[in-house]
């Protein structure tokens, strides 16, 4: 009798999990279509964009502009102007560099790990990578994001941060991603909210982004343009 009850309970749990994953995949499939479809979104892993906004340093707002070049999930370059100072960060696979306008430093493994984490999230929000078989999906139910009705999906991949993504219930567009990650070697809760989506060469993409760390505002910025080069010069990701 005990064995029968245990098997029945296991069957019920398995059936529930499968239904939950099916719902999550349906939400994700709708989101991929809303953002332009899988073929268009594939272009978003290799892109160039310009941003302008505010970063909060010790609670004080500081204006910045940046040029970002992505070849995800392994390579990123940030050229930032902050307080009239030009700063460059480059991630190239297992190596990363920072230049403060004069001196270039090879970054330590912990900082490389953090940059790789952020690059993974940037790759994941192009959505198509989350449709792959090595990702486990689950529904997070309904929620509100900036007052808008949303549905959530949890995405887990071995060795990567577990992501909670929230999509507009009405349009299917991505509104928020949250995860537990690292910043300056400390475990923190990170969140990004997206809004003002616009079409760029067939890709529906957000033009406003607000990030927070442990619930406190970190950055707010507006995307000026977004392009999808067929290829990028390898020198872009060389040591600056």
Is there a contact between 213 and 190 (Cβ–Cβ < 8 Å)? yes
Instruction: Name every residue whose Cβ is closer than 8 Å to that of residue 214 and which is 6 or more positions away in sequence.
Output: 188, 189
Q: What is the pLDDT of residue 2?
A: 54
Q: What is the pLDDT of residue 185?
A: 94
Q: What is the pLDDT of residue 93?
A: 97
In eight-state DSSP terms, residue 161 is -
Q: Is the dihedral of CA 213, 58, 105, 47 positive or negative?
A: positive
Q: What is the pLDDT of residue 110?
A: 96
Is there a contact between 224 and 206 (Cβ–Cβ < 8 Å)? no
Q: How big is the chain, counted in residues?
A: 240
Element (H, E) at 119: helix 109-124
Q: What is the pLDDT of residue 79?
A: 97
Q: What is the pLDDT of residue 1?
A: 57
Cα 50 to chain center, whole Å?
17
Q: What is the pLDDT of residue 164?
A: 98
Q: What is the pLDDT of residue 160?
A: 97
Q: What is the pLDDT of residue 20?
A: 81
Could you give all domains of the chain from N- to C-terminal order, each with its CATH number? 23-237 (2.50.20.10)
Walking along the chain (240 residues) 10 residues at a time, the average pLDDT comes out as 49 50 96 98 97 95 97 98 94 96 93 97 98 94 97 97 98 98 96 98 98 97 96 95
């Amino acid at each position: 009798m005990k064995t029968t009850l245990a098997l029945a309970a296991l069957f019920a749990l398995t059936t529930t999990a499968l239904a939950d994953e099916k719902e999550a995949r349906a939400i994700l499939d709708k989101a991929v279509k809303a953002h332009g479809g899988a073929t268009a979104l594939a272009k978003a892993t290799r892109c160039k964009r310009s941003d302008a906004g505010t970063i909060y340093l010790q609670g004080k707002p500081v204006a910045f502009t940046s040029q970002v070049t992505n070849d995800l999930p392994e390579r990123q370059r940030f050229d930032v102007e902050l307080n009239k100072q030009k700063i460059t960060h480059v991630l190239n696979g297992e190596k990363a560099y920072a230049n403060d306008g004069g001196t270039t430093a090879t970054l330590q493994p912990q900082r490389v790990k953090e940059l790789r984490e952020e690059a993974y999230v940037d790759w994941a929000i192009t959505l198509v990578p989350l449709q792959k078989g090595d990702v486990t999906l689950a529904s997070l139910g309904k929620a509100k994001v900036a007052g808008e009705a949303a549905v959530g999906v949890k995405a887990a991949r071995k060795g990567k941060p577990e992501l909670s993504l929230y999509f507009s219930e009405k349009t299917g567009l991505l509104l928020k991603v949250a995860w537990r990650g690292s910043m300056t070697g400390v475990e923190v809760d990170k969140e990004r909210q997206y809004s003002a989506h616009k079409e760029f060469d067939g890709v529906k993409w957000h033009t406003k982004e607000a990030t927070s760390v442990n619930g406190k505002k970190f950055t707010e910025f507006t995307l000026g343009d977004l392009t999808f080069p067929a290829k990028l010069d390898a020198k872009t990701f060389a040591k600056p």
